[in-house]
Structure 1
Amino acid sequence: MADNIAVSNVKLERMLSMKGGKGEASYVNNSQAQAQHARSMLHLLREALDGVRLSSPENPFSVADLGCSCGSNTINMVEIIIKHMTERYVAAGGEPPEFSAFFSDLPSNDFNTLFQILPPYGGGESMEECLASNNRHRSYFAAAVPGSFYRRLFPAKSVDVFYSAFSLHWLSQVPDVVLDKRSTAYNKGRIFIHGANESTANAYKNQFQSDLGGFLRSRSKELKNGGSMFLVCLGRTCFDPTDQGGAGLLFGTHFQDAWDDLVQEGLITSETRDNFNIPVYAPSLEDFKEVVEADGSFAINKLQIVRGGSPLVVNHPDDAAEIGRALAVSCRSVSGVLVDAHIGDELSDELFSRVASRAMSRAEELLEQLQFFHIVASLSLA
């Protein structure tokens, strides 16, 4: 198993995705918390959209969701963006343009499931009729754009609004030195940055800033003049990058302990565990701001930390077993593809079973402490 390194930098881009399909641990069935967090930021999104320049209705208006995944959240957010822009055109006394929406994620994303739940196009209806219709028709043309958002995805000056939520904390790769036994940044005994040493933390920070720089350079070429970019990613409120806040509690506590269980029980080797690292980094506001200012392509209209709440959605908060299952399923929906590839489906089942058991024993503490904070950034071309 040690040779099957799922998060090796060669393989990561080709396989990283949220759990596809429509099963119990799928992202489709475990993204309610993300939907709640996104709704809590709608006023900030609408504020950013109010700053978008209205062009001639003869020119199509393009919206791109970067890191769209495969659930209904992306469809709902695109519809909110298009509805808001349609209302702005109407309020200005103009005819709304035709809209196009680009759903972009890595090629490994489950685009099939996404487009199965995409409403049919409204056909001959006007944009206003389509948006007001109860028939659940869409008012825009849709397309998938597979590829890494750390590189170019679209023609120059072709997109009016970029939207990306809960994706930019995913790194393009695990830093090489983190998997190098000869390096001081080697993350021995751990599968995440949370609680790691300073060298490991710096390696993750440097990777995040390099990735975000690539993201900004690409978008600066693709965004139309007068367009807007609205970004949301996991963030942290403390200075210390080894304290990853909610992400640390999700990946660095019970999940970490479950990997250690498999090692202690002889089901996997310590090397197999050490060759697995979650490629996530929750930046501070300063981490994020440094990259934007160093790139220089974008003006910061808004940059703030928002309390997102818990990633766990439970019906019975006094049911420890339900809370344990909720944590295991939540963790599996976002990391399960990597785990399955690294240790196989059978051991993956064992791992997440232990996550559930460990979380169940600390259920009350989990509900109180597992809180996500998000960095929200509204940017326009400088």
Structure 2
Amino acid sequence: MELESLLSMKGGKEEEYSYANNSQAQAIHARSVLHLLKETLDIVELHDNPNIPFTIVDLGCSSGSNTISTMDVMINHIIKRHEALGFRPPEFSAFFSDLPKNDFNTLFQLLPPLHVNYGGGGISMEECLAASNHRSYFVAGVPGSFYRRLFPARSINFFHSTFSLHWLSQVPESVVEKKCSAFNKGKVFIHGANETTANAYKAQFQTDMASFLSSRSLEMKKGASMYLVFLGRSSVDPTDQGGPGIFFGTHFQDAWNDLVQEGLISSEERDTFNIPLYAPSLQEFKEVVEADGSFAINKLELFKGGSPLVVSQPDDEAEVGKALANSCRSVSGVLVEAHIGDQLSDQLFSRVARRAALHAKELLDQLQFFHIVASLSLKE
């Protein structure tokens, strides 16, 4: 519950390290697998009754424009499917859900106005496409953890979640407990940790994912589907977290060590901070889905998503270093600030930028994220 009350991507639109200003890579990665999203939407069962709303949920929506762009794609695709079948499109409800600290205000400010003719059984495809600066769906924000129930039973047609399910509900307690063999001494992430620490992270992932699937299976309508994209790994070894390991386990880790060595924080302060993130293998995720038993797996693949760094001048080492620090701060800054305060956070991420700049070419060559893409349908 403590992590749930703290965790969020960095809010706002103005700060250079806000999530809204550092999620270009996510947009690129999402577009690269857009065909798989549409394939999953094609599986959803439709009905020739415009009086029954079609409901889509974005779980882990955060606060940038990516969320709105993707929702537009999903709504328009479902409208096309209805019209291809000769059905009158229904009205659409879009629920944007994230933890309570999420910057919903920024997200809602980015929303275009509702189409002036929308309502009363939907609008035509022509009207929808012509109104590119409007939306054709009703909106609500739903704060809460997706590891618990969020919606009434049998109320949702489609769940969508991208770049969120690698976040755990909590750091495993044993990882920050000195007396436990899983204590992650000297580290702030699972990458390069011992086997016991890795097993604690893996167990937390399994528990969380089981809760996620159980909750969604109760909330989905008959014929509903779900599309999930989240960090995964190609290695069998859970201590080798690949791209996330480089992201949080190298320069970010070294920057924490700098603060300790410079006497700005104690080693205890470092050792009681851990990034609550786990990139599973395909097999680990598949095992949890099969153990739940509620879902048919339509597609399950591991995709090379590319680098999280988007820079205009790859040869500019300072820009590369700053890009890594800003990207890192956009997703972990809230947790870091809660742990050591704003001023020390500034110190930490300035060291991340400086260290990353010294290894700019190596980062651009080697920092690659893999994503698990899963298309699931509720079994009859």
Match of 2:91 in 1: 98
Shift of 1:130: 4.4
Q: Is the 8 A contact 2:58 2:160 kept in 1?
A: yes
Q: Which amino acid aligns with 1:183?
A: C
For the residues of structure 1 that align with 2:316 and 2:288, how far apart are their CA atoms? 43
Q: Is the 8 Å Cα contact of residues 115 and 131 (structure 2) preserved in structure 1?
A: no
- Of residues 153, 156, 161, the one that matches 1:156 is 153
The answer to whether the Cα contact below 8 Å between 1:64 and 1:162 also exists between their aligned partners in 2 is: yes
Please report how far the alpha carbon of residue 341 of structure 1 lies from its aligned counterpart in structure 2 after TM superposition.
0.9
Q: Which amino acid aligns with 2:25?
A: A
Shift of 1:127: 4.7
Query: What residue is the counterpart of 1:210 in the other structure?
Result: 207
What amino acid maps onto 1:78 in structure 2?
M
What is the one-letter code of the residue matched to 2:350?
S
The match for 2:2 is 11
Match of 2:55 in 1: 62
Q: Secondary structure at the match of 1:97?
A: coil
How many Å apart are 1:123 and its aligned residue? Answer: 2.4
Unaligned runs of 5+ in 2: none
Q: In 1, distance between residues paired with 2:69 and 2:52? A: 24
How far apart are the structure 2 equivalents of 1:90 and 1:127?
8
Aligned to 2:19, what secondary structure does the other structure show? Answer: coil
Partner of 2:315: 318
Are the aligned partners of 2:100 and 2:144 in contact in 1 as well (CA < 8 Å)? yes
Determine if contact 2:251/2:355 at 8 Å carries over to the other structure: yes
Aligned residues: 373
- 2:16 corresponds, among 18, 24, 27, to 24
Task: Give CA-to-partner distance per residue, 1:183-225, whole Å, 9 cap, x none.
Answer: 0000000000000000000000000010000000000000111
CA displacement at 1:277 relative to structure 2: 0.3
Tell me whether 1:50 sits opposite 2:42 in the alignment. Answer: yes
1:381 to partner: Cα distance? 1.1
Task: Identify if the C-alpha distance between structure 1 residues 298 and 181 changes in structure 2 by more than 3 Å, giving closer, same or farther.
Answer: same
Structure-to-structure mapping, 1:1-382, within 5 angstroms: 10-22=1-13, 23-55=15-47, 56-125=49-118, 126-382=123-379
Structure 2 length-normalised TM: 0.97
Q: Distance in 2 between matches of 1:50 and 1:129?
A: 20
SS in 2 for 1:186: coil
Could you state the TM-score of these two structures normalised by the residue count of structure 1? 0.96
Using the TM superposition, give the Cα deviation of residue 132 of structure 1 relative to its aligned residue in structure 2, in angstroms.
1.2
CA displacement at 1:133 relative to structure 2? 2.3
Instruction: Tell me how far apart the structure 2 counterparts of residues 338 and 98 of structure 1 sit (CA, whole Å).
Output: 39
Provide the secondary structure at the position in 2 that maps to 1:28: helix
Distance in 2 (alpha carbons) for counterparts of 1:49 and 1:307: 22
Question: Among the aligned pairs, what percent are the same residue?
Answer: 69
